């Protein structure tokens, strides 16, 4: 029982300090393992009747589960990496994205694409970059696929100008 108490205190401390999800889960699994090992004493009827009545939880008190504590407070590593600011739009773009943007948004016109990339890298704010992009990107979107490509391009611009 002492080990279980120690693990519970460690879990409370980790959740309070905002520890990594993996650490909290490991301690939680340790608690589960400990609960599975601990043998519960057999109670006789007299012992059960002698126990005091458990006080109900007050309505003002809120108890959060481990899942509730972990979900909103600890963002995933992939979320954090996606939100990092990029120094250049071109460097943030993979080769597949470059091909898709060039083919879909510029109809294969590499000169216009390169000119726009250079201007976007010199832009200071997202609004400035958005106006440059809107001048170069063909505004006619024939289908849903082209609209998705345009949205993906603007997401790339947002990541470039985030936290400025």
53 lies in a domain?
no
DSSP for 63-96, please give it.
---HHHHHHHH---HHHHHHTSPPS-HHHHS-HH
Query: Residue 161 above 80 pLDDT?
Result: no
57 lies in a domain?
no
Domain count along the chain: 2
108 lies in a domain?
yes
Q: Which of 107, 145, 115 is nearest to 133 (CA)?
A: 115
One domain, residues 157 and 87? yes
Q: Six-digit token pair at 86?
A: 């990029």
One domain, residues 4 and 68? yes
pLDDT of 93:
82
Which of 29-33, 60-64, 79-83 has maximum average pLDDT?
A: 29-33
One domain, residues 104 and 69? no
Query: Which helix or strand (DSSP H or E) is residue 53 part of?
Result: none
Q: Six-digit token pair at 151?
A: 């949205």
Long-range contacts of 20-28 (CB under 8 A, 24+ apart): 20/74, 21/70, 21/74, 24/66, 24/69, 24/70, 28/66
110 lies in a domain?
yes
One domain, residues 70 and 115? no
One domain, residues 128 and 154? yes
Q: How confident is the model at residue 28 (pLDDT cuts 50, 70, 90)?
A: confident
One domain, residues 4 and 70? yes
pLDDT digits (tens, 9 = 90+) for 32-41: 887 777 555 5
Query: Residue 102 above 60 pLDDT?
Result: yes
- Tell the residue number behind the tokens 């340790």, with chain if given: 30
Query: Could you list the residue range(s) of the whole structural domain that residue 155 is in?
Result: 82-161
Share of the chain above pLDDT 70, in %: 66
Final residue of a structural domain among 74, 93, 121: 74
One domain, residues 68 and 111? no
The whole-angstrom separation of Cα 118 and Cα 94 is 16
3-class secondary structure, 146:
helix
One domain, residues 68 and 87? no
Q: Six-digit token pair at 93?
A: 């773009």
153 lies in a domain?
yes
**Do the Cβ atoms of 7 and 63 come closer than 8 Å?**
no
Residue 65: Cβ within 10 Å count: 8
One domain, residues 110 and 148? yes
pLDDT of 164:
47
The CA-CA-CA angle for residues 140, 141, 144, to 5°, reads: 170
């Amino acid at each position: 029982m002492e080990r279980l108490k120690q693990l519970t205190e460690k879990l409370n401390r980790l959740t309070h300090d905002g520890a990594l999800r993996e650490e909290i889960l490991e301690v939680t699994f340790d608690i589960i393992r400990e609960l599975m090992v601990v043998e519960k004493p057999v109670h006789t009827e007299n012992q059960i009747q002698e126990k005091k009545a458990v006080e109900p939880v007050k309505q003002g008190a809120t108890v959060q589960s481990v899942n509730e504590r972990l979900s909103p407070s600890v963002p995933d590593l992939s979320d954090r990496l996606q939100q990092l600011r990029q120094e250049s739009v071109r460097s943030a773009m993979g080769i597949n994205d470059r091909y898709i943007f060039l083919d879909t948004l510029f109809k294969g016109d590499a000169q216009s694409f390169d000119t726009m990339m250079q201007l976007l890298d010199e832009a200071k704010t997202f609004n400035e970059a958005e106006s440059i992009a809107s001048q170069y990107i063909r505004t006619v979107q024939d289908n849903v696929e082209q609209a998705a490509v345009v949205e993906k391009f603007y997401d790339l611009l947002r990541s470039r100008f985030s936290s400025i």
